[in-house]
Structure 1
Amino acid sequence: MFRKIATLGTALAMVGSMAVAQVHAARDYISIVGSSTVYPFSTVVAEQFGKATSFKTPKIESTGSGGGFKLFCEGVGVQHPDITNASRAIKKSECETCMKNGVTEIVEVKIGYDGIVIANSKQAPALKLTTKDLFMALAKEIPDPQGSGKLVPNPFKTWREVNPELPDSRIEVMGPPPTSGTRDAFVELVMETGGLEMPMLADLKKADKKRFKSVCHTLREDGAYIEAGENDNLIVQKLVSNPKALGIFGFSFLDQNMDKIQGAFVNGVAPSFEGIASGEYPVSRPLFFYVKKAHVDVIPGMREFLAEFTSEKTWGPEGYLAEKGLIPMPDAERQKYTGAVKALQTFSCE
């Protein structure tokens, strides 16, 4: 929920504005960083914006959500990005870093919804997984399968060892690094949910939430889970060349590569546009971008780019982003964020 706030200090805001103004001539294009999941949507909008207006096409870097916030929050001025994409909401600690560095007015824009898929090559059988299967396959420590009542290093080498109904193939999952919002959402929506299905970990959460979170968020480092960087297209390519491997990424990358890869069922639900939109698919999350308000009237084209991104022809049910796999927000939610963008409504770190 949006909440208007005053800046932390008038003097700080003036310094920020001066920093932008002093180097105005040094940059005449919009600089965007952040989420690899939001990257393809942002790129499509940037290309459309560049064609339809007299402004330069924005430059976009795929740095991961965490990496994007780090760059975005370093300060005000054209040496810093104007916008950061994110596949999760900004953390309180990141917001406080922004404020400390003079980035005191930030506009949050939710753009729609996305599902996290666990996919493999169409050359291999389609998989039906549960969140418990995924936890038992990928957690660094799991409850002892021998029943000792203790956590032990994950002993499982194959999917069949995890679940007799799964293939007898080596566990090999390519996914995002810790800087990725997709990784953050995966450990929260999949690993924590799967962990809670085991009484020992459900009890641990009640007794020691911090320890429970550590167990669920710490993935294997023995080769079963492979950090594949922030280039999700590269994971798709590797799945095609290695039919025994699985990959973790946003739904849009599955949607654009249906001829080569397929998404696994999770808890009995297939990843689909309809399933994510309805909330039936269990691994779905909102997508965002964040705008540095101090840059809006200094960097050429900022207002126009924001208007393009939040127009019905872009993010509406029949918009061109839906064709790329973005799950549109309900009408009322789109109207809310459209209004917030027009007003450049900022929010607090609370």
Structure 2
Amino acid sequence: MKKTFAVAALAAAMIPAAAFGQARDQIRIVGSSTVFPFSTAVAEAFGRQGKFKTPVVESTGTGGGMRLFCAGVGTGHPDMTNASRPMTKSEFESCNKNGVTDITEVKIGFDGIVIADKIGSAKMNLSRKDIYLALAEKVPMNGGLAENPYKTWAQVNPNLPNTKIEVIGPPPTSGTRDAFIELVMDYGCKDFPEIKAITDAKVKTAACSKIREDGAYIEAGENDNLIIQKLNTSPEALGIFGYSFLDQNKDKVQGSQIEGFDSTFE
């Protein structure tokens, strides 16, 4: 059964070829919250043509979308899933196991990840090492790994403000979070001697990628607009989301600098 998969931070989409020939008269799309606004706009334009019903688009997160997409074929399953990262090997195997065997990936664009706060707040200049130390569940300390003791940014780096670490971001099902782990957390942890000394690949991956669950990192669900809203009521908090949401909300939020670089389209 052929399906199509659309990938945006890398952005993409997937679809089953025979799905549209079956009983349902309306296309169903699931997946990435980052791609959701773009998918919705395209779906509405498609519906305005009048020949077919407007497709139903649900924001389930990349991981959640993949699970729904790979669960099977037919009218009980979505026709397309959007993603902000490529399909993983285990997801591909799950698709094949459930009869979703002919998958087409359509690359539809690129996006970036930003860390931002409420407009008017003192702009932060963070390194990826700072972010790792602030958000990791366990951090390098005295030759080993210890439960993260840092409560303020100044404890992480004395050049940063003495404000509470409070970061609002996506849940584990999010492709944006997957990309954040790879681009920020994994990079930020790699030069610590305690990390280099770990020989077990799985233990090393967990040490770099496991995010703390003591309240410093707050999961906002699969809704980037909710992160924007929360930042406006929490002036010292930072949010993690796709660049497109920063671009669309420049009157509300501002991007932090990462290693001296501003968040720009380029």
**TM, length-normalised to structure 2:** 0.90
Please state if 1:166 is matched with 2:160: yes
Partner in structure 2 of residue 348 of structure 1: none
- Contact kept, 8 Å, 2:20 with 2:27, in 1: the verdict is no
3-state DSSP class of the match of 1:212? helix
Contact 1:158 1:168 in 2 (8 A): yes
Deviation, structure 1 residue 203: 3.4
SS at 1:142 equivalent: strand
Percentage of matched positions with identical amino acids: 60
Structure 1 equivalent of residue 13 of structure 2: none
Q: Does 1:119 align with 2:116?
A: yes
Instruction: Work out the CA distance in 2 between the residues paired with 1:167 and 1:242.
Output: 16
> Paired residue for 1:98, among 92, 95, 98?
95
Q: How far is 1:17 from its partner?
A: 8.5
C-alpha separation in 2, matches of 1:244 and 1:49:
41
Counterpart CA distance in 2 for 1:75 and 1:119 is 38
Other-structure match for 2:3? none
Of 209, 217, 225, 2:201 maps to: 209
Name the structure 1 match of 2:7. Answer: none
CA change 1:42–1:18 in 2 (3 A) is closer
Residue 165 of structure 1, CA deviation? 1.3
1:197 — aligned with what?
191
CA distance in 2, matches of 1:140, 1:201: 14
Question: How big is the alpha-carbon RMSD for the aligned residues of Structure 1 and Structure 2?
Answer: 1.6
Map 1:307-326 to 2 at 5 A.
none
Question: Could you say which residue in structure 1 is the equivalent of 2:226?
Answer: 234
Residue 134 of structure 1 deviates from its aligned partner by 0.2
Indicate whether 1:54 and 2:55 are aligned: no
1:260 offset after TM fit, Å? 0.8
Q: 1:3 aligns to what?
A: none
Provide the rounded CA distance (Å) in 2 between the counterparts of 1:202 and 1:142.
13
Select 2:41's aligned residue among 39, 44, 50: 44
Q: Any stretches of 5+ residues in structure 1 without a counterpart?
A: 1-15, 275-350
Shift of 1:110: 1.1
What's the counterpart of residue 151 of structure 1?
145
Q: Does 1:269 align with 2:266?
A: no
Q: Could you report, residue by residue, the CA deviation over 1:281-311 in whole angstroms, capped at 9, with x for unpaired residues?
A: xxxxxxxxxxxxxxxxxxxxxxxxxxxxxxx
Deviations 1:135-181 (A, max 9, x none): 0000000011xxx2010000100001111111111000011111111
- Whose RCO is larger (CA < 8 A, sep 6+)? 1
Whichever of the two has the greater Rg, that structure is: 1
Question: Which residues of 2 match residues 218-297 of structure 1 at below 5 A?
Answer: 218-274=210-266
1:186 and 2:183 matched:
no
Superposed displacement of residue 199, structure 1: 2.6
Cα deviation, 1:203-246, whole Å, max 9, x if unaligned, reads 33xx2221111111111111001111001101100001111111
1:218-277 residue CA offsets vs partner (Å, 9 max, x unmatched): 111110011110011011000011111111111111010001101111122112111xxx
Unaligned stretches of 5+ in structure 2? 1-15
For the 8 Å contact 1:17–1:76, the answer to whether it is kept is no
Change in Cα spacing, 1:18 to 1:138, as seen in structure 2 (3 Å) is closer
Alignment-mate amino acid for residue 192 of structure 1: D
Conserved? CA contact 2:19–2:79, under 8 Å: no
Higher helix share: 1
Question: Match of 2:75, SS?
Answer: coil
1:18 CA displacement: 8.6
Q: Which amino acid aligns with 2:159?
A: E
Q: 1:118 to 1:19 in 2, by over 3 A?
A: closer
The answer to whether the Cα contact below 8 Å between 1:195 and 1:202 also exists between their aligned partners in 2 is no
Give how far 1:200 is off: 2.2
Provide the rounded CA distance (Å) in 2 between the counterparts of 1:242 and 1:110: 36
The one-letter amino acid paired with 1:129 is L
Kept in 2, the 8 Å contact 1:131–1:190? The answer is yes
